[in-house]
Amino acid sequence: MKTLTILEVGGLEGLVAMIIGIIILVALFISFIITTFVKLIYESKDGRKFSKKQYWQTMLICLLLCGLVSGAICGGGL
């Protein structure tokens, strides 16, 4: 029995879902790295503490910016 790939099955829904999933995972990873970097810089000055709320707000802002950039790139704006 021959194994069928996603493209041979006929629908490209699986491929589209995989691409969207990969974009989301990459955006999460990049946002995590940026947020951790911001937290380290913030806490290195004057012994300040980076709260959980600030962490998640920074993470959300980074995710929104990653979404904006990926939308511009995938949408053909750049």
> In a structure prediction context, what are the per-residue pLDDT tens digits for the chain, which is 78 residues long?
666 665 566 667 777 788 888 989 999 999 999 999 999 999 998 888 999 999 999 999 999 999 898 888 888 776
The string of DSSP letters for 15-53 reads: HHHHHHHHHHHHHHHHHHHHHHHHHHHHHHSTT----HH
Extract the tokens encoding 17.
Answer: 């879902």
Q: Give the pLDDT of residue 58.
A: 94
Whether the predicted model's global pTM rises above the 0.95 cut: no
Cβ neighbors of 28 (< 8 A, separation 6 or more) are 63
Closest CA to 70 of 41, 18, 30, 27: 27
Q: Give the pLDDT of residue 1.
A: 60
52-74 and 13-44 are packed helices; what angle lies between their axes, rounded to 10 degrees? Answer: 140
